[in-house]
Copies of this chain bind each other. A is one copy, B any other.
Amino acid sequence: MIGRLNHVAIAVPDLAAASAMYRDVLGAEVSEPLPLPGHGVTVVFVGLPNTKIELLQPLGDASPIAPFLARNPSGGMHHVCYEVDDILAARDRLKAGGARVLGDGEPKLGAHDKPVLFLHPKDFTGTLIELEQA
């Protein structure tokens, strides 16, 4: 069911510093910061030949990554995103398998303007998983 690893998201307290580190020290291609007020984050995309890393900094008062950064002030890996062909079929299969889908279970438009769902980390070995319709 799951397809490509779309991205690994890393929450960071200082996007400029993280971006410079990936660009200058690790020698990767990084995008300009892209504010996504509807998602409560500003994102920098780190392009790799086979996937991408997304560096996320909280934006606004109710950022979904603020609690994670409060627990992990230096930042850290926040979630992985797997692509699926049919997000409703994926959701139904997951629920039938006993996995919990976060929120009301209805896909929302994610940061790439594609339907996404998040799965409960407790059902997936402590890992927050995003599913994105490819």
Contacts and interface: CB of A to CB of B under 8 A. Distances in A.
Interface of A: 1-5, 8, 10, 12-13, 17-18, 21, 24-28, 48-51, 53, 55, 72, 74-77, 80, 82, 93-94, 97-99, 121-127, 129
Q: Give how many copies assemble into the complex.
A: 2
B48 A12 contact: no
Contacts of A126: 10, 12, 72, 74-77
A21 B75 contact: no
A51 B49 contact: no
Question: Which of A97, A98, A124 has its CB near the most chain B CB atoms (within 10 A)?
Answer: A124
B127 A77 contact: yes
A51 B127 contact: no
A76 B25 contact: no
B122 A74 contact: yes
A2 B24 contact: no
Query: 5 closest A-B pairs (Cβ-Cβ)?
Result: A1-B27, A76-B126, A75-B125, A25-B97, A74-B126
Contacts of A3: 48-49
Contacts of A129: 26
A2 B21 contact: no
Contacts of A49: 3-4
Nearest to A49: B4
A125 B5 contact: no
